[in-house]
Amino acid sequence: MKIRIQAEDLSFHYTDEEDNAISPEILKDLSLTLEAGSFVAVLGANGCGKSTFAKHMNGILIPTGGKMLIGEMDTADERYAYDIRQHVGMVFQNPDNQIVATIVEEDVAFGSENLGVPPEEIRQRVDDALKAVDMYAYRMHAPSQLSGGQKQRVAIAGIIAMRPSCIVLDEPTAMLDPKGRQEIMKTIRMLNQEYGITIVLITHYMEEAVQADRVIVMGDGNVLLDDVPEEVFSHVEEMKQAGLDVPQVTELVYELQKSGVQLDSRIITEEACTKALLELFA
């Protein structure tokens, strides 16, 4: 199913039982539309509200102002709570703290079991999901026997088995080594391209954001920049001010431009950079 995610003037602060604000405004009139099937990277310094925004996408948090719509479903409407969570899956930073069961395949089944899927179908979904993330050979392992990247792939499989239309990943690679990071990025791209699943990837790694079709930069509870990666990263000064980085090649191009060299500033990959520099010398 194709489902569009829409935030309309979203505001959020934490409240106590009597609805008094007990935190400053974390999201401030945030409006965004995420098209079905897209691959969106969300960047922002710590505390910019990106994790809070992520938790709104599946109704774990309910906006204090504005609306969050998943397709036609409003997250504030309790009747939709489980439908929304089935449609929008979440993967978190620490792979250890999201695996429930003591055996890989049991954990992958957990979500589908909660949804009340018939047993034979769960079996099928679990096998499919484990094959999709390339963890089928490990289906009988205990989570403690796996590497970080493998655990994170198990967590992703658990979400895929719920047949979501969108997966939100909140810094899924922050605790992984480079090898684990590559595994996760490969899996994410495959899910987006082959399964058509909408991907929302929150990350601190620019080389990961470069792979998305769209990059949203958040700062202070709102959107600072929102465009294709080439455009977003060409705003080198703004990115640095937001506490972020740009790929080294983009920085090089920016620095050369400052010294008067004429180059296209929309360069974010090694290949494009090499090509542009060679043309300069041709």
Partner 1 sequence: MLKDITIGQFFPGDSAVHKMDARFKLCMTLLFIVMLFMGKHLYSLIFGIVFCVLALVLSKIPFRLIWKSIRVLLPILAVTAVLDIFLIDGGDTVFKWHFIEITSDGVKTALLMVIRILVLLAGTSLLTYTTSPIALTDAIERLLNPLKKIHVPVHAFAMMMTIALRFIPTLLEETDKIMTAQKARGASFSEGNLLQRARSLVPILVPLFVSAFRRAEELATAMECRCYRGDVGRTKMRQLKAAGRDYAAMAVTLILFGTALVVKIIF
Partner 2 sequence: MAVIEVKDLTYRYGIGTPFEKTAVDHVQLTIPTGAYVGIIGHTGSGKSTLIQHLNGLLQPTEGTVMLDGKDIWADKAEMRQVRFRVGLVFQYPEYQIFEETVFRDIAFGPKNMGLSEDEIHARVKEIAGIVGISDDMLEHSPFLLSGGQKRRVAIAGVMAMRPEVLILDEPTAGLDPRGREEILCEIDLYRKKTGATILLVSHSMEDVARHAEHILVMNKGSVFCYDTVQRVFSRAGELQKIGLAVPQITRVCAALRQNGLAIDENIYTVEQAKEQLLKLLRQKGVNRGC
Q: What is the binding site for partner 2 (CB under 8 A)? A: 44-47, 93, 147, 171, 174-175, 177-180, 204, 206-207, 243-245, 247-249, 251-252, 255-256, 259-262, 270, 273-274, 277-278, 280-281
Name the residue among 91, 85, 249 with its Cα closest to residue 184.
Answer: 91
Which one of partner 1, partner 2, none is in contact with 206 (Cβ closer than 5 to 8 A by kind)?
A: partner 2
- Closest to partner 1 by CB, 101 or 276: 101
- Residue 19 and residue 15: Cα distance in Å, rounded? 5
Positions that interact with partner 1 (CB under 8 A): 55, 58, 60, 82, 85-86, 89-90, 92, 94, 96-103, 105-106, 109-119, 122-123, 126, 140, 142-144, 158-159, 162
Give the sign of the dihedral formed by CA 229, CA 235, CA 237, CA 243. Answer: negative
| DSSP H or E segment with residue 266 | none
Q: What is the closest distance, in whole angstroms, from the C-beta atom of residue 63 to partner 1 in the complex?
A: 17
Rounded CA Rg of the chain: 20
DSSP string, 133-182: TT-GGGTTS-GGGS-HHHHHHHHHHHHHTT--SEEEEESTTTTS-HHHHH
| φ, ψ at 118 (rounded to 5°) | -60, 145
Q: CB under 5 to 8 A by kind: which of partner 2, partner 1, none does 179 bind?
A: partner 2
**Choosing among partner 2, partner 1, none, which partner's interface includes residue 46 (Cβ < 5 to 8 Å by kind)?**
partner 2
Query: 167 touches which of partner 1, partner 2, none (CB within 5 to 8 A by kind)?
Result: none
